[in-house]
A and B are shown apart, each in its own frame.
Chain A
Amino acid sequence: MASTLSPALPTVPHPQHPAPNGDGVHSDAGLEDGRDRLPPLSREEVLRYSRHLILPDVGLEGQQRLKAARVLLIGAGGLGSPAALYLAAAGVGALGLVDFDVVDVTNLQRQVLHGTSDVGRPKLESAAKRIADINPHVHVERFETRLTSANALDIVRQFDVIVDGTDNFPTRYLVNDACVLAGRPNVYGSIFRFEGQASVFATPDGPCYRCLFREPPPPGLVPSCAEGGVLGVLPGLVGTIQATEAVKLILGIGETLIGRLLLVDALRMEFRTVTVRRDPACPACGTRELKALVDYEEFCGIRQAAAAASAESTLPEIAPRELAAKLARGDDFDLIDVREPYEYAVARIEGARLVPLATFREVLPTLNHSREIVVHCKSGIRSAHIVRLLQDAGFERVWNLAGGISRWTDDVDPEVPKY
């Protein structure tokens, strides 16, 4: 009892919490470095990490383990931001960052690694600057590239723990498979509007992402943050959960989310965990028939969808400038906006009639076949569906506004806000 209350630096290892993957999966990784080879802490580091050093489950040795650890963050966006900030502050020795994006002003609502003055700069630049300010002891390794089937294994193998903060299905499956093949734990997190998920995949005993989601959803079915929106605080919640799990894996303490999927509902503020297990038929971690990384765009049907879309590009279109000329001439036609009311409240084209996508079929019978109709949405994808629907219903003079209201702002009226 006395020893746990003692403020003295605990230097004793915690045999009740063995390091993760002690069965040798990490044999080439820093996590299994012998204790005598753990890097020493400087006087400044001892002071900086004092609140860790007096924690019985971390202590001096734990802090040295953090210093020896190499964590790879894939994506320096919503999830990667809080994860990077906390892992850097916690004293993880090396942080690898994979991102090829440039900071956009729409990122700032949630991607707290980047600031207003960073807009237009590569994300890795602002990330490295911010991390160096938080903790100059952290070695940042930049991979300013898109993670691909060609480079993923090489990059993943250089690190002990992988934090998946990517934003699309092909890369999710790529990260998962690379982690399974390289034998690295995949600290998973993902977000959608007000909800999030987190888990730890690809460990020797637990399931992987494919065990849970064998088939990717058809392209376009699940909207991205750009299309569906996301509460700015949500990646803060989920990304810090990922950082917590990464730290626990490095220290070998507590119970990680291996074998559990955490579901976060920020709107109801409910956290549920669902126990999950390895699927013996999983091609990645079950049967292991997956021997190498594949083409994930194809696996997720993205390539096929793009080919189909280009085949359908015969859809009649009208350019924003042509539409502006029609409106200026006072041509007799109907302009229909198929976006949602909350989008209409942000930006609209004068004279457009709002008919949200979901209600279009009800309104269809009231439309006049003989009239000319121009349909628009935000970028031209939803309205393309409606133009096709109108064509199928026998309408002959229908046009899709090319590029939607976004391009209207670019080409015609800069006063209409972009969102």
Chain B
Amino acid sequence: MYISGVPPATVTVLLFASYADAFGRPRVEVPLAARATVADLVTQLRDGHAADLPPRPLVAINQEYAAYDRVIEAGDEIALIPPVAGG
């Protein structure tokens, strides 16, 4: 249970393709501070994975493109989408 507007302690981030490979799993739980933004989340995820995750990866929240100043809310489904080139 959480108070409306206050994000939960952790959020689930879906990882695709090379990002999932870099983290060794298709989803990660990330602890977030209250009012954390997409930029904060990416900074946290890059800690230890800076070589695999670019500074500004494509992020979607609830299946929609998310700007980096977007505040993450409780229950948001976050996805990090890497560029893929194979054909």
* Set of chain B residues within 8 Å of A196, measured between Cβ atoms: 84
Within 8 A of B (CB), among A68-100: 75, 77-80
Q: How far is the CB of B51 from chain A (nearest CB, A)?
A: 8
* Set of chain B residues within 8 Å of A195, measured between Cβ atoms: 16-17, 84
| A27 on interface, CB distance cutoff 8 Å | no
Q: Which of A77, A169, A192, A224 is most buried by chain B, counting CB atoms within 10 A of its CB?
A: A192
- Residue in B16, B65, B83 whose CB lies within 8 Å of A263: B16
* Set of chain A residues within 8 Å of B60, measured between Cβ atoms: 274
- CB-nearest residue of chain A to B59: A274
Within 8 A of A (CB), among B31-87: 51-52, 54, 56, 58, 60, 63-65, 79, 81-87
Interface pair B83/A216, CB less than 8 Å apart = yes
Chain B interface main SS type: loop
Q: How far is the CB of A318 from chain B (nearest CB, A)?
A: 29
| A151 on interface, CB distance cutoff 8 Å | no
Interface pair B79/A274, CB less than 8 Å apart = yes
- Residue in A167, A221, A273 whose CB lies within 8 Å of B86: A167
Q: Which of B60, B83, B84, B87 is most buried by chain A, counting CB atoms within 10 A of its CB?
A: B87
* Set of chain B residues within 8 Å of A275, measured between Cβ atoms: 63-65
Q: How far is the CB of A227 from chain B (nearest CB, A)?
A: 10
- CB-nearest residue of chain A to B22: A221
Q: How far is the CB of B62 from chain A (nearest CB, A)?
A: 9
* Set of chain B residues within 8 Å of A172, measured between Cβ atoms: 83, 85
Interface pair B58/A75, CB less than 8 Å apart = no
Number of B interface residues at 8 Å Cβ cutoff, please give it: 20
* Set of chain A residues within 8 Å of B79, measured between Cβ atoms: 263, 272, 274
Q: How far is the CB of B70 from chain A (nearest CB, A)?
A: 13
* Set of chain B residues within 8 Å of A263, measured between Cβ atoms: 16, 79, 81
* Set of chain B residues within 8 Å of A273, measured between Cβ atoms: 63
Chain A interface main SS type: mixed
| A64 on interface, CB distance cutoff 8 Å | no
| Partner-binding segment picked from A122-130, A207-215, A369-377 | A207-215
* Set of chain A residues within 8 Å of B63, measured between Cβ atoms: 272-275
Q: How far is the CB of B16 from chain A (nearest CB, A)?
A: 6
Interface pair A165/B87, CB less than 8 Å apart = yes
Interface pair B54/A79, CB less than 8 Å apart = no
- Residue in A164, A222, A225, A277 whose CB lies within 8 Å of B83: A222
| A230 on interface, CB distance cutoff 8 Å | yes
In angstroms, Cα B60 to Cα A212, docked, is 11
- CB-nearest residue of chain A to B51: A221
In angstroms, Cα B57 to Cα A214, docked, is 9
On whether A190 and B86 interact (CB within 8 A), knowing A213-B58, A274-B81, A276-B65, the answer reads yes
Interface pair A192/B81, CB less than 8 Å apart = no
Q: Which of A164, A217, A225, A235 is most buried by chain B, counting CB atoms within 10 A of its CB?
A: A217
Interface string of A174-201 (1 = CB under 8 A from B): 0000000000000001111101110000
Interface pair A190/B85, CB less than 8 Å apart = yes
| A400 on interface, CB distance cutoff 8 Å | no
On whether A221 and B52 interact (CB within 8 A), knowing A273-B63, A274-B60, A274-B64, the answer reads yes
On whether A197 and B87 interact (CB within 8 A), knowing A274-B63, A274-B79, the answer reads no
- CB-nearest residue of chain B to A259: B65
- Residue in B17, B82, B87 whose CB lies within 8 Å of A78: B87
Interface pair A193/B17, CB less than 8 Å apart = yes
In angstroms, Cα B52 to Cα A235, docked, is 25
Q: How far is the CB of A161 from chain B (nearest CB, A)?
A: 17
Q: How far is the CB of A375 from chain B (nearest CB, A)?
A: 21
Q: Which 7 A-B pairs have the closest CB atoms?
A: A167-B87, A274-B60, A213-B83, A225-B86, A192-B84, A190-B84, A191-B86
Instruction: Known pairs A190-B87, A222-B18, A222-B83; list 17 more (Cβ under 8 Å).
Output: A79-B87, A80-B87, A166-B87, A167-B87, A168-B85, A172-B85, A190-B86, A191-B84, A192-B84, A196-B84, A197-B84, A216-B83, A217-B82, A235-B87, A263-B81, A273-B63, A275-B63
